[in-house]
């Protein structure tokens, strides 16, 4: 018999992620599971050209720690308000914000917290966009230590029982 004790909802705050939250909540209720809400702030420093390349962005680099702190605070606020009113009462909920490549941090968090299932939205990009942009959801499915439920919102509306 399947028993889920810990469920991870990873979000990029998109409509697809919001739809996935409905499933994460339903599973958490059904199994009385601990629900983890995670957002990963992508580290933009990897995208900044180095000085040796002839480009330098001193003002950008100097303001980066402040900007990252602002992004983290915004994410915490959004995560805090993502659950329905009073849903947390009597339930175990953890809010977390990590920094780095999203799929790496989602998989790392799932391993560290012994998550039984990851729930996340997928954007269902076209083939060309998928090739160019990749898919966080696909990478999570490939590397996750547990089952992954991916939700694509178009044409699949969740109905509460």
Tell me whether residue 135 is in a domain.
Answer: yes
**Domain span including residue 35:** 6-151
Residue 26 domain-assigned (yes or no)? yes
CATH number assigned to the domain comprising residue 34 = 3.40.50.620
Q: Where are the beta strands (DSSP E) in the chain?
A: 6-11, 34-41, 93-99, 117-121, 148-151
State the Rg of the chain over Cα. Answer: 17
Judge whether 139 and 30 are in contact, CB under 8 Å. Answer: no
115 assigned to some structural domain: yes
In a structure prediction context, what are the per-residue pLDDT tens digits for the chain, which is 161 residues long?
Answer: 789 999 999 999 988 899 999 999 999 999 999 999 999 998 665 555 555 554 556 666 677 778 888 889 999 999 999 999 888 888 999 999 999 999 999 999 999 999 999 999 887 555 544 444 458 888 898 899 999 999 887 665 556 66
Whole-model pTM: value is: 0.80
Rounded distance, CA 53 to CA 50, Å?
A: 6
Q: Look at the chain and report how many structural domains it folds into.
A: 1
């Amino acid at each position: 018999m399947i028993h889920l004790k810990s469920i991870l909802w990873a979000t990029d705050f998109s409509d697809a992620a919001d739809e996935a939250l409905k499933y994460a909540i339903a599973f958490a209720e059904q199994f009385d599971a601990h629900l983890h809400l995670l957002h990963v702030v992508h580290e933009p420093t990897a995208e900044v050209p180095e000085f040796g390349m002839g480009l330098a962005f001193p003002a950008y680099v100097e303001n980066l720690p402040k900007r990252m702190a602002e992004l983290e605070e915004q994410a915490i606020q959004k995560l805090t308000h993502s659950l329905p009113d009073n849903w947390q009462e009597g339930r175990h909920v953890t809010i977390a914000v990590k920094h780095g490549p999203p799929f790496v941090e989602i998989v790392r968090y799932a391993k560290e917290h012994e998550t039984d299932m990851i729930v996340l939205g997928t954007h269902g990009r076209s083939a060309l966009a998928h090739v160019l942009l990749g898919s966080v959801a696909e990478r999570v499915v490939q590397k996750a230590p547990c089952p992954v439920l991916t939700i694509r919102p178009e044409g699949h509306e969740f109905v509460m029982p």
